[in-house]
Amino acid sequence: MQISATNKSAAITGIYAGLLGLLLGPQVDSGSTAWLFVATAAFAGPAYFFVFGLRREDMVGLWVFQPSLLKRVGLCLAGVMCVGTIAQFIIILLEN
């Protein structure tokens, strides 16, 4: 079974990356190299398969500017921004 990147998988990966950033962010900021490698693997693996999702044959010419790839990257970033925004709203509400 071949894993294919879709718009839905890119958005879900963005939400996953946002939640993972909230959970692993303090450990990575502590300066531990091990946590940096764990976080990199946890972010890069799903992003490579579910957002990037190109085969070697598709990487010709200006492949970085393919509309489908740009849309998936944008959806992933939108998912991360949504999680960050919701987390900030929760933090603001808890402070008051």
Q: Categorize the per-residue pLDDT at 42 as very low, low, confident or very high, splitting at 50, 70 and 90.
A: very high
Rounded Cα gap, residues 83 and 35, in angstroms: 21
Position 1 in a domain: no
For residue 2, which phi and psi values (nearest 5 degrees)? -95, 135
* Number of domains composing the chain: 1
For the stretch 1-17, pLDDT in tens is 577 889 999 999 999 99
Whether 82 maps to a domain, the answer reads yes
Residue 56 lies in a domain: yes
**In this structure, which amino acid lies at residue 34?**
A
Say if 2 falls within a structural domain: no
Q: Which domain holds residue 38?
A: 7-95
Q: Is residue 21 part of a domain?
A: yes
Whether residue 58 is predicted with pLDDT greater than 80 in this model: the reply is no
CA torsion angle 8 12 18 24 (round to 10): -150
Distance CA 82, CA 88 (A): 10
Supply the pTM of this predicted model: 0.86
Domain membership of residue 32 (yes or no) is yes
Is 77 a member of any domain? Answer: yes
